[in-house]
Amino acid sequence: MNETTVKLTVDSVWQDGTPFSGLLEVTLLELGTTENNLIAPKRQQEIYFEDGRVEINLVPSSAMNGAKYRIRIITTAVAGGYKSKTILYDKIVSIPDSDCSLHDLVADED
């Protein structure tokens, strides 16, 4: 039995609109049982992107008894032989029941 998923689209651009490359990290924060009794394990997915846009299919939070996802966007820079990582977005969110963009999501209060 296939579980229904929704598409989360992330557009990663600098303030001037220039897209950047980076890493999208999506972590399901707790074990969840879906309405079809599928167990969704706590796990992390990482997707590298080059052109500022990345899409991922996720099980909506409502299908997992309200389970939350942690979403991080990380960019790296190399200068003088050193590699540095900068976390540009790090929020805990619920995934809605329809396709959405990262900009549509409301982060949970800390």
Task: Kindly report the pTM of this predicted structure.
Answer: 0.79
Structural domain total, the chain: 1
Residue range 15-42: mean pLDDT, rounded? 74
Residue 110 lies in a domain: no
**Closest by CA position to 100, among listed 50, 62, 60:** 60
Task: Name the average pLDDT for the chain.
Answer: 82
Supply φ then ψ for residue 68, to 5 degrees. -105, 155
Residue 104 lies in a domain: no
Residue 80 lies in a domain: yes
Residue 1 lies in a domain: no
Question: Locate tokens 């990482």: which residue?
Answer: 46
- Angstrom distance (rounded) from CA 67 to CA 77: 33
Residue 103 lies in a domain: no
Residue range 63-88: mean pLDDT, rounded? 83
* CATH number assigned to the domain comprising residue 73: 2.60.40
Residue 44 lies in a domain: yes
Quote the domain boundaries for residue 86. Answer: 6-94
Residue 67 lies in a domain: yes
**Closest by CA position to 108, among listed 87, 91, 89:** 91
| pLDDT over 90 at 42, yes or no | no
